[in-house]
Amino acid sequence: MNGFALLGRARCFWLRQSADTVMLEGCDPGVSFRTVHDPRSHITHTVISNSSDGAWPITRRRDEQLAT
């Protein structure tokens, strides 16, 4: 993946080399999120959690669903 991260913060912006999607994800104590946009299909999905690790199991499952 190509992207950037701001040190001291958990904000990240990723452009995947193997896909045409754009992903923004991050976390802080008590919150986590990921937004993915696919410009080819015009589909955007966002997962927001009120815990530091809560978004990741859902985003992994969503990634599996979209891969099939």
Say how many Å lie between the first and final Cα of the chain, rounded.
Answer: 21
Which helix (H) or strand (E) is 22 found in, with range? strand 22-28
> pTM of this prediction?
0.69
Average pLDDT of every residue of the chain: 78
pLDDT for the residue numbered 7: 46
pLDDT per residue over 29-59, tens digit each? Answer: 888 899 988 888 898 989 999 998 899 999 9
Q: What are the structure tokens assigned to 50, written together? A: 């009120």
Could you tell me how many residues make up the chain?
Answer: 68
Cα distances from 31 to residues 27, 35, 41, in angstroms, run 5, 14, 28
